[in-house]
């Protein structure tokens, strides 16, 4: 199958074909998502919470992201790979942002990077895209600002913050972003943003009217079954399957049923 490229996503928006995005953090998961035909694999900094056991995405470093992005790149041959830029790798200066993004592309094998925020990152986005680094924006609930936001909760609920978010989305498009993730915002605002910009919006907890949807794969497949956000739909129950399989293995080992006697021929 033909690899997914950035211009393909714009065509999908124009033709009303919804874009399916899932996160992955390793080669095995990337291979499976790719085989199923996913359009975009996001190597999210959610790796910090989902795989590494941190309380937030803030402790995730650039080296960790490169390590996981490289693994995903080895597994996927068709999907477009987007890597998250971790906290403080793009906020300090455009030069540092370009260097950090460059490593995610060069060493990690990503085709694009994602970073969080609106107005404060516009100059950085402009500089990065001028140098040919494709940038995906991320507005609404931006997890790297979890402390300032007071937790993982829905954003842009009043008219002022909704207007600011709409303005940020238009500014990100003008700065050169090729797509924007809209996380945990009211569905009617996500719909308004999606109509107002020419680039595809990818929603998570933002209703059905975005140009695509993204979920954290561990949530979507029921691998994480403890604190699942309310907007998630679980397409499999892998935690239950793994616990069941582990119990069966333990029982068979204890009972001496595994491994079987070797047949001598
Ligand atoms: O880190 C991540 O997985 C993300 C998605 C939830 C959009 O940013």
> In this model, does residue 263 exceed pLDDT 80?
no
Residue from 37, 1, 2, 51 nearest 217 by CA: 51
pLDDT of residue 225: 80
Least Cα distance to 22 among 234, 172, 173, 199 occurs for 234
- CB of 84 shorter than 6 A to ligand 1: yes
Which of residues 186 and 228 earns the better pLDDT score? 186
Q: Which of 84, 116, 221 to mutate to test the pocket of ligand 1 (most atoms within 8 A of CB)?
A: 84
Q: How many helices (H) and strands (E) does the chain have?
A: 11, 8
pTM of the model: 0.97
**Per-residue pLDDT reduced to its tens digit, 13-63:** 999 999 999 999 999 999 999 999 999 999 999 999 999 999 999 999 999
- Count of CA atoms in the C-beta half-sphere (13 A) of 4: 21
Cross-strand bridge partners of residue 84: 114
pLDDT tens by residue, 116-152: 999 999 999 999 999 999 999 999 999 999 999 999 9
| 214 within ligand 1 shell (Cβ under 6 A) | yes
Query: Residues 160-202: pLDDT tens digits?
Result: 999 999 999 999 999 999 999 999 999 999 999 999 999 999 9
Q: Whose CA is nearest to atom 6 of ligand 1?
A: 216
């Amino acid at each position: 199958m033909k690899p997914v490229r950035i211009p393909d996503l714009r065509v999908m928006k124009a033709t009303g074909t919804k874009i399916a995005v899932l996160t992955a953090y390793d080669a095995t998961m990337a291979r499976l998502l790719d085989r199923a035909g996913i359009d975009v694999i996001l190597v999210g900094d959610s790796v910090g919470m989902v795989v590494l056991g941190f309380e937030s995405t803030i402790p995730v470093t650039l080296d960790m992201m490169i390590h996981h992005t490289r693994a995903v790149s080895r597994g996927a041959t068709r999907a477009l790979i987007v890597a998250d830029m971790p906290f403080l790798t793009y906020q300090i200066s455009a030069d540092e942002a370009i260097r950090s993004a460059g490593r995610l592309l060069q060493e990690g094998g990503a085709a694009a990077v994602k970073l969080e925020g609106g107005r404060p990152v516009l100059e950085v986005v402009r500089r990065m895209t001028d140098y040919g680094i494709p940038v995906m924006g991320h507005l609404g609930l931006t997890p790297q600002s979890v402390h300032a936001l007071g937790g993982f909760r829905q954003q842009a609920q009043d008219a002022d913050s909704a207007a600011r978010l709409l303005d940020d989305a238009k500014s990100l498009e003008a700065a050169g972003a090729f797509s924007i993730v809209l996380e945990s915002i009211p569905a009617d605002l996500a719909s308004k943003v999606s109509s107002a910009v020419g680039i595809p919006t990818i929603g998570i907890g933002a209703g059905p009217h975005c140009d695509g949807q993204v979920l954290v794969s561990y949530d979507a497949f029921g691998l994480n079954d403890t604190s699942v956000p309310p907007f998630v739909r679980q397409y499999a129950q892998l935690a239950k399957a793994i616990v069941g399989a582990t119990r069966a293995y333990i029982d068979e080992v204890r009972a001496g049923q595994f491994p079987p006697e070797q047949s001598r021929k």
